[in-house]
Amino acid sequence: MKTSIFTGSAVAIITPMNEDLSVNYEVLGEIIDDQIKNSTDAIVIVGTTGESSTLTDEEHVKCIQYAVERAAGRVPVIAGTGSNHTDYALWLSKEAEKVGANALLQVTPYYNKTSQAGLVKHFTAIADAVNLPMILYNVPSRTGMTIAPKIYQELSKHPNIVAAKEASGNFSAIAETRYLCGDDLDFYSGNDDQIVPMLSLGGKGVISVLSNVAPKETHDICQLYFDGKIAESAALQIKYMGLIQALFCDVNPIPVKKAMNLLGWKAGECRLPLTEMSSENKARLEKEMKAVGLI
């Protein structure tokens, strides 16, 4: 059996920006401290929610290094180093390893995509090049492709491929994958509205956008389930469903950055091509934040 990277809730953390849209490392550090204080079990840095696609290479690596230094071993730091260019993903992964990341998050190739056989070669090449555990990231809504259960099974044989972040919403395929892979592959929910269903299939937790604004509550959804308090866990997830939906009423991370600003964090704006929310969506987000007592 492989060692789990984390159990519980990992925050897919935002990358706060200054007014000139440079990275605000000071605020990033404050958010990391607050997340750990509020029971977040791991930090996922420079993923989609961290605007990885608009960071320079220097910023990408510096954010990983900064998160590692700030977390100081209190929780694992998982670096988003995926790409649709295998050599680039490999380079980023090596850089993340150099600066002390505990694990890697690898999204499926997007736009140019690949075949299922290409997925095996792509992920294997990266896993062979580093000595870090990897989480595969299956998010068809963003990439236009999915990882088939039998491909998960083949990839799970690699000692460095230890988990998957599943955001497909296809629970039949996830159940089949769990059957095929057994204990060789951990699963985390990639959707905040599906944490409890994923846990019911033996999932280890969630990689969460919600955790940016409700870290303790997101952790508690998982912990209650692990403690056998399944009804309480489900009730807590249902309580936050309106907010979860509002956090995805526009392209992620536009709403969650707005929510962080509403909470008093100097999260700043998103870099283009992501733009400001509509007034209608802002009102919806504020309403749902008030409904759960965040503001």
Of the residues 165, 257, 258, 282, which is catalytic?
165
Of the residues 66, 137, 188, 225, which is catalytic?
137
| Nearest alpha carbon to residue 205 among 225, 227, 189, 182 | 189
Contacts of 200 (CB under 8 A, 6+ apart): none
Dig out the tokens for 83 from the structure. Answer: 């790409």
Category of 265 on φ-ψ map: left (φ > 0), alpha (ψ -120 to 50) or beta:
beta
CA distance 29 to 77: 13
- Stated length of the chain: 295
Dig out the tokens for 122 from the structure. Answer: 């792509």
137 classed as catalytic: yes
For residue 36, what is the enclosing H or E element? helix 25-37
Residue 170: Cβ-neighbour burial (10 angstroms; 0-12, 13-18, 19+): middle
CA distance 210 to 201: 21
CA distance 80 to 92: 9
Distances, alpha carbon 169 to alpha carbons 23, 247, 280, in Å: 32, 17, 27
CA distance 127 to 161: 7
CA distance 165 to 139: 8
Provide the terminal-to-terminal Cα distance of the chain, rounded to the nearest Å: 44
Q: Which residues are annotated as catalytic? A: 137, 165
